[in-house]
């Protein structure tokens, strides 16, 4: 089985979580997360991390500053 390192370059924007649409990918605390649902009345969103193994889900305040991935500019890989 070959294992690859993936190098990705993104176009990003630092914004409040409340401005990011549901289904988007964000970076928060040096991990990639997907926005699952916005919670009305609590000013929060349910997010789950992206990766192998157990998926952690948390409620994050809409006022939290996150790095919103707008577009992928380049993807390359190398076998290790």
Q: What domains, with CATH codes, occur in the chain?
A: 19-79 (2.30.30)
1-25: per-residue pLDDT in tens? 889 999 999 999 999 999 999 999 9
Is 17 in contact with 63 (CB distance < 8 Å)?
yes
Dihedral angle of Cα 71, 19, 48, 42, to the nearest 10 degrees: 180
pLDDT at 69 exceeding the cut of 80: yes
The closest of 51, 45, 41, 80 to 66, measured between CA atoms, is 45
**pTM, rounded to two decimals:** 0.83
- In sequence order, which residues have a C-beta less than 8 Å from that of residue 80 and are 6 or more positions away? 3, 4, 5
Residue 53: pLDDT band (50, 70, 90) is confident
């Amino acid at each position: 089985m070959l294992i690859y390192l993936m190098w990705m370059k993104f176009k990003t924007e630092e914004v409040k979580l409340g401005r990011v649409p549901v289904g988007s990918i964000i970076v928060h605390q040096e991990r990639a997360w997907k926005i699952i649902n916005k919670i009305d009345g609590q000013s929060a969103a349910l997010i789950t991390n992206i990766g192998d193994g157990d998926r952690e889900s948390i409620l994050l305040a809409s006022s939290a500053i996150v790095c919103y991935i707008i577009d992928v500019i380049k993807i390359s890989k190398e076998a290790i």
